[in-house]
Protein backbone atom coordinates (compact mmCIF):
# COMPACT_ATOMS: atom_id res chain seq x y z
CA UNK A 1 0.00 0.00 0.00
CA UNK A 2 1.60 3.28 -1.16
CA UNK A 3 0.44 5.27 1.87
CA UNK A 4 2.46 3.03 4.20
CA UNK A 5 5.83 3.43 2.48
CA UNK A 6 8.13 6.43 2.13
CA UNK A 7 6.43 7.77 -1.02
CA UNK A 8 3.50 9.30 0.88
CA UNK A 9 2.51 10.36 4.41
CA UNK A 10 1.60 7.48 6.71
CA UNK A 11 -1.51 7.42 8.93
CA UNK A 12 0.80 8.07 11.88
CA UNK A 13 1.95 11.33 10.25
CA UNK A 14 -1.66 12.51 10.18
CA UNK A 15 -2.55 11.31 13.68
CA UNK A 16 -2.38 14.69 15.49
CA UNK A 17 -5.28 16.09 13.41
CA UNK A 18 -6.74 13.12 11.51
CA UNK A 19 -7.37 9.67 12.99
CA UNK A 20 -7.07 7.50 9.86
CA UNK A 21 -8.66 4.06 9.99
CA UNK A 22 -8.68 3.14 6.29
CA UNK A 23 -6.18 3.78 3.47
CA UNK A 24 -6.63 2.73 -0.15
CA UNK A 25 -5.56 3.68 -3.66
CA UNK A 26 -7.55 4.52 -6.79
CA UNK A 27 -5.24 4.89 -9.78
CA UNK A 28 -2.70 7.55 -8.81
CA UNK A 29 -4.86 8.83 -5.94
CA UNK A 30 -4.46 8.00 -2.26
CA UNK A 31 -7.62 7.83 -0.15
CA UNK A 32 -7.42 8.32 3.62
CA UNK A 33 -10.65 7.80 5.57
CA UNK A 34 -10.68 8.94 9.17
CA UNK A 35 -12.13 11.02 11.96
CA UNK A 36 -10.92 14.63 12.09
CA UNK A 37 -9.88 16.57 15.15
CA UNK A 38 -11.02 19.82 13.46
CA UNK A 39 -13.32 21.06 10.69
CA UNK A 40 -12.48 20.37 7.05
CA UNK A 41 -10.97 23.79 6.39
CA UNK A 42 -8.63 23.58 9.40
CA UNK A 43 -7.75 20.00 8.53
CA UNK A 44 -6.78 21.01 5.01
CA UNK A 45 -4.72 23.94 6.25
CA UNK A 46 -2.84 21.73 8.71
CA UNK A 47 -2.05 18.95 6.24
CA UNK A 48 -1.46 20.69 2.92
CA UNK A 49 2.23 21.41 3.60
CA UNK A 50 2.90 17.81 4.66
CA UNK A 51 1.45 16.37 1.47
CA UNK A 52 3.24 18.92 -0.70
CA UNK A 53 6.54 17.60 0.64
CA UNK A 54 5.61 14.28 -0.94
CA UNK A 55 4.38 15.88 -4.20
CA UNK A 56 0.62 15.64 -3.55
CA UNK A 57 -2.27 18.07 -3.46
CA UNK A 58 -5.22 17.25 -1.24
CA UNK A 59 -8.99 17.57 -1.12
CA UNK A 60 -11.14 16.98 1.95
CA UNK A 61 -14.52 15.40 1.20
CA UNK A 62 -17.44 14.12 3.22
CA UNK A 63 -18.29 11.53 0.54
CA UNK A 64 -16.22 8.71 -0.96
CA UNK A 65 -15.01 8.95 -4.59
CA UNK A 66 -16.25 5.36 -4.97
CA UNK A 67 -20.00 5.91 -4.90
CA UNK A 68 -20.56 2.35 -3.72
CA UNK A 69 -18.80 3.12 -0.44
CA UNK A 70 -20.38 5.11 2.37
CA UNK A 71 -18.55 7.49 4.70
CA UNK A 72 -19.77 7.62 8.33
CA UNK A 73 -21.19 11.01 9.44
CA UNK A 74 -18.25 11.61 11.79
CA UNK A 75 -15.60 10.97 9.10
CA UNK A 76 -13.95 12.61 6.11
CA UNK A 77 -12.10 11.30 3.07
CA UNK A 78 -8.77 12.94 2.31
CA UNK A 79 -8.00 12.51 -1.39
CA UNK A 80 -4.34 13.00 -2.32
CA UNK A 81 -3.36 13.36 -6.00
CA UNK A 82 0.05 14.03 -7.61
CA UNK A 83 0.74 17.73 -8.17
CA UNK A 84 1.84 19.31 -11.43
CA UNK A 85 1.45 18.38 -15.08
CA UNK A 86 2.24 14.78 -15.92
CA UNK A 87 3.02 13.92 -19.53
CA UNK A 88 2.41 16.04 -22.61
CA UNK A 89 -0.74 18.21 -22.30
CA UNK A 90 -2.43 16.83 -25.40
CA UNK A 91 -5.85 18.27 -24.65
CA UNK A 92 -4.45 21.78 -24.23
CA UNK A 93 -2.40 21.45 -27.42
CA UNK A 94 -5.32 20.13 -29.50
CA UNK A 95 -7.65 22.87 -28.28
CA UNK A 96 -4.99 25.48 -29.02
CA UNK A 97 -4.54 24.21 -32.60
CA UNK A 98 -8.31 24.10 -33.11
CA UNK A 99 -8.58 27.67 -31.83
CA UNK A 100 -5.85 28.79 -34.24
CA UNK A 101 -7.83 27.21 -37.08
CA UNK A 102 -11.09 28.64 -35.76
CA UNK A 103 -9.74 32.19 -35.52
CA UNK A 104 -8.14 31.91 -38.96
CA UNK A 105 -11.50 30.83 -40.37
CA UNK A 106 -13.42 33.59 -38.57
CA UNK A 107 -10.95 36.24 -39.69
CA UNK A 108 -10.84 35.02 -43.28
CA UNK A 109 -14.59 34.51 -43.67
CA UNK A 110 -16.10 37.42 -41.73
CA UNK A 111 -13.40 40.09 -41.88
CA UNK A 112 -11.09 39.43 -44.84
CA UNK A 113 -13.92 37.89 -46.92
CA UNK A 114 -11.69 35.27 -48.47
CA UNK A 115 -12.93 32.16 -50.35
CA UNK A 116 -12.13 29.76 -47.50
CA UNK A 117 -14.44 26.99 -48.73
CA UNK A 118 -13.06 26.83 -52.25
CA UNK A 119 -9.51 27.70 -51.19
CA UNK A 120 -8.94 26.72 -47.52
CA UNK A 121 -5.30 27.85 -47.56
CA UNK A 122 -6.43 31.41 -48.25
CA UNK A 123 -7.40 31.57 -44.55
CA UNK A 124 -3.70 31.92 -43.76
CA UNK A 125 -3.93 35.52 -44.97
CA UNK A 126 -6.00 36.26 -41.86
CA UNK A 127 -3.09 35.42 -39.55
CA UNK A 128 -2.90 38.99 -38.10
CA UNK A 129 -6.50 38.68 -36.88
CA UNK A 130 -5.81 35.21 -35.45
CA UNK A 131 -2.64 36.41 -33.73
CA UNK A 132 -4.49 39.37 -32.20
CA UNK A 133 -7.32 37.26 -30.76
CA UNK A 134 -5.10 34.45 -29.49
CA UNK A 135 -2.58 36.97 -28.20
CA UNK A 136 -4.99 38.86 -25.93
CA UNK A 137 -6.68 35.68 -24.70
CA UNK A 138 -3.46 33.72 -24.25
CA UNK A 139 -1.54 36.47 -22.45
CA UNK A 140 -4.49 36.93 -20.08
CA UNK A 141 -4.46 33.26 -19.09
CA UNK A 142 -0.67 33.04 -18.99
CA UNK A 143 -0.73 35.94 -16.53
CA UNK A 144 -2.84 33.76 -14.24
CA UNK A 145 -0.65 30.72 -14.84
CA UNK A 146 2.59 32.53 -14.03
CA UNK A 147 1.13 33.72 -10.71
CA UNK A 148 -0.11 30.23 -9.83
CA UNK A 149 3.46 29.00 -10.33
CA UNK A 150 4.82 31.89 -8.27
CA UNK A 151 2.51 31.03 -5.36
CA UNK A 152 2.99 27.27 -5.87
CA UNK A 153 -0.68 26.62 -6.63
CA UNK A 154 -1.32 23.56 -8.78
CA UNK A 155 -3.09 24.67 -11.97
CA UNK A 156 -3.50 23.52 -15.55
CA UNK A 157 -2.10 25.14 -18.66
CA UNK A 158 -4.64 27.31 -20.55
CA UNK A 159 -7.51 25.58 -22.31
CA UNK A 160 -8.56 27.52 -25.42
CA UNK A 161 -12.16 27.22 -26.57
CA UNK A 162 -12.64 27.36 -30.37
CA UNK A 163 -15.81 28.81 -31.90
CA UNK A 164 -15.78 29.67 -35.64
CA UNK A 165 -17.96 32.81 -35.43
CA UNK A 166 -16.96 36.52 -35.48
CA UNK A 167 -14.31 36.20 -32.78
CA UNK A 168 -13.18 32.66 -33.53
CA UNK A 169 -13.05 31.66 -29.87
CA UNK A 170 -15.09 31.64 -26.68
CA UNK A 171 -12.00 32.52 -24.68
CA UNK A 172 -9.57 30.48 -22.63
CA UNK A 173 -9.42 29.22 -19.05
CA UNK A 174 -7.02 27.59 -16.63
CA UNK A 175 -8.21 25.12 -14.02
CA UNK A 176 -7.15 25.42 -10.40
CA UNK A 177 -6.45 21.97 -8.99
CA UNK A 178 -6.14 23.03 -5.36
CA UNK A 179 -7.16 25.74 -2.94
CA UNK A 180 -5.38 29.11 -3.05
CA UNK A 181 -3.34 29.50 0.16
CA UNK A 182 -3.78 33.19 1.11
CA UNK A 183 -5.65 36.38 0.25
CA UNK A 184 -2.42 37.77 -1.19
CA UNK A 185 -2.13 34.83 -3.58
CA UNK A 186 -5.85 35.15 -4.43
CA UNK A 187 -5.37 38.84 -5.31
CA UNK A 188 -2.19 38.18 -7.31
CA UNK A 189 -3.73 35.34 -9.30
CA UNK A 190 -7.00 37.20 -9.87
CA UNK A 191 -5.43 40.50 -10.96
CA UNK A 192 -2.54 39.10 -13.02
CA UNK A 193 -4.77 37.85 -15.84
CA UNK A 194 -6.63 41.13 -16.49
CA UNK A 195 -3.46 43.21 -16.12
CA UNK A 196 -1.44 41.01 -18.48
CA UNK A 197 -4.37 40.76 -20.88
CA UNK A 198 -4.82 44.54 -20.87
CA UNK A 199 -1.12 45.04 -21.64
CA UNK A 200 -1.51 42.73 -24.65
CA UNK A 201 -4.77 44.46 -25.58
CA UNK A 202 -3.10 47.89 -25.63
CA UNK A 203 -0.28 46.59 -27.84
CA UNK A 204 -2.70 44.90 -30.25
CA UNK A 205 -4.90 48.01 -30.41
CA UNK A 206 -1.98 50.36 -31.04
CA UNK A 207 -0.64 48.12 -33.83
CA UNK A 208 -4.09 47.70 -35.36
CA UNK A 209 -4.76 51.44 -35.41
CA UNK A 210 -1.57 51.98 -37.41
CA UNK A 211 -2.84 49.64 -40.14
CA UNK A 212 -5.16 50.74 -42.92
CA UNK A 213 -8.55 49.04 -43.30
CA UNK A 214 -8.74 46.25 -45.83
CA UNK A 215 -10.02 47.00 -49.34
CA UNK A 216 -12.94 44.62 -48.78
CA UNK A 217 -13.87 46.56 -45.64
CA UNK A 218 -13.91 49.84 -47.55
CA UNK A 219 -16.12 48.34 -50.23
CA UNK A 220 -18.46 46.74 -47.70
CA UNK A 221 -18.77 50.03 -45.78
CA UNK A 222 -19.77 51.89 -48.93
CA UNK A 223 -22.29 49.22 -49.90
CA UNK A 224 -23.81 49.03 -46.42
CA UNK A 225 -24.53 52.76 -46.00
CA UNK A 226 -28.14 52.07 -46.90
CA UNK A 227 -28.33 48.61 -45.30
CA UNK A 228 -28.67 47.21 -41.78
CA UNK A 229 -25.29 46.38 -40.24
CA UNK A 230 -23.65 45.23 -36.99
CA UNK A 231 -21.65 47.92 -35.18
CA UNK A 232 -19.14 47.25 -32.41
CA UNK A 233 -19.11 50.30 -30.12
CA UNK A 234 -15.89 51.55 -28.59
CA UNK A 235 -15.20 51.45 -24.83
CA UNK A 236 -13.45 54.47 -23.27
CA UNK A 237 -10.04 52.75 -23.22
CA UNK A 238 -10.12 52.23 -26.99
CA UNK A 239 -10.96 55.91 -27.52
CA UNK A 240 -8.15 56.96 -25.16
CA UNK A 241 -5.61 54.80 -27.03
CA UNK A 242 -6.72 56.30 -30.37
CA UNK A 243 -6.39 59.83 -29.00
CA UNK A 244 -2.91 59.17 -27.61
CA UNK A 245 -1.70 57.59 -30.87
CA UNK A 246 -3.18 60.25 -33.16
CA UNK A 247 -5.57 57.81 -34.82
CA UNK A 248 -8.88 59.12 -33.45
CA UNK A 249 -9.96 60.01 -36.99
CA UNK A 250 -9.87 56.35 -38.01
CA UNK A 251 -11.99 55.43 -35.02
CA UNK A 252 -14.53 58.15 -35.77
CA UNK A 253 -14.94 56.80 -39.29
CA UNK A 254 -15.87 53.45 -37.77
CA UNK A 255 -13.62 51.64 -40.20
CA UNK A 256 -10.44 50.09 -38.81
CA UNK A 257 -8.24 47.09 -39.55
CA UNK A 258 -9.53 43.75 -38.14
CA UNK A 259 -6.57 43.63 -35.73
CA UNK A 260 -8.22 46.47 -33.79
CA UNK A 261 -11.15 44.13 -33.21
CA UNK A 262 -8.69 41.87 -31.37
CA UNK A 263 -8.11 44.74 -28.95
CA UNK A 264 -11.87 45.30 -28.67
CA UNK A 265 -12.30 41.62 -27.77
CA UNK A 266 -9.57 41.93 -25.13
CA UNK A 267 -11.45 44.82 -23.52
CA UNK A 268 -14.78 42.97 -23.51
CA UNK A 269 -13.12 39.88 -22.02
CA UNK A 270 -11.59 42.07 -19.32
CA UNK A 271 -14.97 43.59 -18.37
CA UNK A 272 -16.69 40.22 -18.15
CA UNK A 273 -13.86 38.60 -16.19
CA UNK A 274 -13.80 41.48 -13.69
CA UNK A 275 -17.42 41.09 -12.67
CA UNK A 276 -17.08 40.77 -8.85
CA UNK A 277 -18.87 37.45 -8.60
CA UNK A 278 -17.98 33.83 -7.87
CA UNK A 279 -14.65 32.60 -9.15
CA UNK A 280 -14.27 35.14 -11.93
CA UNK A 281 -11.18 37.34 -11.72
CA UNK A 282 -13.23 40.17 -10.24
CA UNK A 283 -14.63 37.78 -7.65
CA UNK A 284 -11.07 36.78 -6.68
CA UNK A 285 -9.99 40.41 -6.37
CA UNK A 286 -12.98 41.58 -4.33
CA UNK A 287 -12.87 38.46 -2.12
CA UNK A 288 -9.20 39.17 -1.42
CA UNK A 289 -9.89 42.83 -0.57
CA UNK A 290 -13.09 42.65 1.50
CA UNK A 291 -13.10 39.03 2.66
CA UNK A 292 -16.36 37.09 3.12
CA UNK A 293 -18.39 40.28 2.50
CA UNK A 294 -17.69 39.65 -1.19
CA UNK A 295 -20.71 37.34 -1.26
CA UNK A 296 -23.01 40.30 -0.48
CA UNK A 297 -21.52 42.24 -3.40
CA UNK A 298 -21.75 39.20 -5.68
CA UNK A 299 -25.43 38.74 -4.86
CA UNK A 300 -26.14 42.18 -6.38
CA UNK A 301 -24.32 41.50 -9.67
CA UNK A 302 -27.00 39.40 -11.42
CA UNK A 303 -29.63 42.02 -10.56
CA UNK A 304 -27.44 44.80 -11.98
CA UNK A 305 -26.92 42.88 -15.24
CA UNK A 306 -30.63 42.07 -15.59
CA UNK A 307 -31.43 45.72 -14.84
CA UNK A 308 -29.07 46.87 -17.60
CA UNK A 309 -30.66 44.40 -20.03
CA UNK A 310 -34.12 45.62 -19.00
CA UNK A 311 -33.12 49.27 -19.44
CA UNK A 312 -31.82 48.64 -22.94
CA UNK A 313 -34.92 46.67 -23.91
CA UNK A 314 -37.73 48.69 -22.35
CA UNK A 315 -36.42 52.20 -21.68
CA UNK A 316 -34.05 52.68 -24.58
CA UNK A 317 -36.45 50.72 -26.74
CA UNK A 318 -34.24 48.21 -28.53
CA UNK A 319 -32.57 44.87 -28.21
CA UNK A 320 -28.97 45.89 -28.85
CA UNK A 321 -26.69 43.91 -26.48
CA UNK A 322 -29.69 42.85 -24.36
CA UNK A 323 -28.82 39.20 -24.95
CA UNK A 324 -25.24 39.71 -23.78
CA UNK A 325 -26.20 41.16 -20.41
CA UNK A 326 -29.18 38.83 -19.88
CA UNK A 327 -27.01 35.78 -20.60
CA UNK A 328 -24.29 37.03 -18.24
CA UNK A 329 -26.96 37.77 -15.64
CA UNK A 330 -27.91 34.10 -15.70
CA UNK A 331 -24.26 33.07 -15.64
CA UNK A 332 -23.55 35.40 -12.72
CA UNK A 333 -26.50 33.94 -10.82
CA UNK A 334 -24.94 30.48 -11.05
CA UNK A 335 -21.52 31.81 -10.07
CA UNK A 336 -22.92 33.69 -7.08
CA UNK A 337 -24.75 30.56 -5.96
CA UNK A 338 -21.57 28.46 -6.26
CA UNK A 339 -19.70 30.97 -4.11
CA UNK A 340 -16.24 32.55 -4.24
CA UNK A 341 -12.80 31.01 -4.04
CA UNK A 342 -11.96 31.04 -0.33
CA UNK A 343 -8.26 31.00 0.59
CA UNK A 344 -6.99 28.59 3.22
CA UNK A 345 -5.65 31.47 5.32
CA UNK A 346 -7.81 34.58 5.51
CA UNK A 347 -5.49 37.31 6.75
CA UNK A 348 -6.23 40.84 5.44
CA UNK A 349 -4.21 42.28 2.55
CA UNK A 350 -1.52 44.92 2.83
CA UNK A 351 -2.20 48.36 1.35
CA UNK A 352 -0.05 47.74 -1.74
CA UNK A 353 -2.08 44.69 -2.71
CA UNK A 354 -5.36 46.54 -2.09
CA UNK A 355 -4.11 49.34 -4.38
CA UNK A 356 -3.28 46.81 -7.12
CA UNK A 357 -6.75 45.30 -6.84
CA UNK A 358 -8.51 48.68 -6.99
CA UNK A 359 -6.36 49.77 -9.95
CA UNK A 360 -7.26 46.58 -11.82
CA UNK A 361 -10.97 47.18 -11.28
CA UNK A 362 -10.65 50.84 -12.41
CA UNK A 363 -8.84 49.80 -15.59
CA UNK A 364 -11.56 47.23 -16.16
CA UNK A 365 -14.21 49.96 -15.86
CA UNK A 366 -12.50 51.81 -18.73
CA UNK A 367 -13.24 48.77 -20.90
CA UNK A 368 -17.00 48.92 -20.24
CA UNK A 369 -19.59 50.19 -22.66
CA UNK A 370 -23.31 49.52 -22.01
CA UNK A 371 -23.98 48.68 -25.67
CA UNK A 372 -20.93 46.81 -26.97
CA UNK A 373 -22.79 45.46 -30.02
CA UNK A 374 -25.44 47.45 -31.87
CA UNK A 375 -27.66 46.83 -34.88
CA UNK A 376 -27.61 49.97 -37.01
CA UNK A 377 -30.39 50.61 -39.52
CA UNK A 378 -30.34 53.40 -42.13
- What is the tally of structural domains in the chain? 2
Residues 17 and 140 both lie in one domain: no
Residues 140 and 276 both lie in one domain: yes
List, as one string, the DSSP characters of 328-368. Answer: HHHHHHHHHHH-----SB-PPPPHHHHHHHHHHHHHHHTT-
Instruction: Please state the φ and ψ torsions of residue 163, each to the nearest 5 degrees.
Output: -155, 110
Residues 240 and 292 both lie in one domain: yes
Residues 156 and 46 both lie in one domain: no
Instruction: Please state the φ and ψ torsions of residue 25, each to the nearest 5 degrees.
Output: -120, 150
Predicted pLDDT at 2: 45
Q: CA distances (Å), 142 to each of 34, 168, 178, 282, 371, in order?
A: 38, 19, 18, 17, 29
Residues 76 and 138 both lie in one domain: no
Residues 117 and 187 both lie in one domain: yes
Predicted pLDDT at 112: 93
Contacts of 135 (CB under 8 A, 6+ apart): 200, 204, 262
Cα torsion angle, 266, 252, 242, 271, sign: negative
Q: CA torsion, points 108, 209, 139, 143, in degrees to nearest 10?
A: -160
Max CA distance (Å), the chain: 79
Residues 72 and 208 both lie in one domain: no
Predicted pLDDT at 93: 96
Helix, strand or coil for residue 115?
Answer: coil
Residues 99 and 9 both lie in one domain: no
**Boundaries of domain holding 69:** 2-82
From first to last of its 378 residues, what are the pLDDT tens digits of the chain?
Answer: 444 457 889 999 998 999 999 999 888 899 999 999 888 888 888 999 899 999 999 999 988 888 888 889 889 999 999 988 777 899 999 999 999 999 999 999 999 999 999 999 999 999 999 999 999 999 999 999 999 999 999 999 999 999 988 899 999 999 988 889 999 999 999 999 999 999 999 999 999 999 998 888 777 666 656 566 678 899 999 999 999 999 998 888 878 999 999 999 999 999 999 999 999 999 999 999 999 999 999 999 999 999 999 999 888 877 778 999 999 999 999 999 888 888 988 889 999 999 999 999 999 999 999 999 887 666
Between CA 124 and CA 352 the distance in angstroms is 45
Of 57, 82, 107, the domain-final residue: 82
Residues 29 and 155 both lie in one domain: no
Predicted pLDDT at 227: 60
**Residue 177, Cβ neighbours under 10 Å: how many?**
16
Of 53, 82, 111, the domain-final residue: 82
Of 62, 82, 102, the domain-final residue: 82
Residues 53 and 73 both lie in one domain: yes
Q: How big is the chain, counted in residues?
A: 378
Residues 301 and 242 both lie in one domain: yes
Residues 67 and 96 both lie in one domain: no
Predicted pLDDT at 27: 84
Decide: pTM greater than 0.85.
Answer: yes
Amino acid sequence: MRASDESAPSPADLAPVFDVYDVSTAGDRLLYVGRPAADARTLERELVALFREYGYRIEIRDDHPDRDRQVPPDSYVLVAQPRGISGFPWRNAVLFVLTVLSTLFAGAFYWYQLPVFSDPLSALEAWPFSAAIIGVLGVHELGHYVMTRYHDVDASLPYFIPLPLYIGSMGAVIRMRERIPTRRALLDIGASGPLAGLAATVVVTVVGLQLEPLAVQEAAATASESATRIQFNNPPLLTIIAELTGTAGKLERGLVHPVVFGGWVGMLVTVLNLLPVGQLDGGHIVRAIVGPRQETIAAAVPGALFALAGYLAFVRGGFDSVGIWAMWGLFATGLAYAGPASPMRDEPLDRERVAVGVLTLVLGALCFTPIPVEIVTP
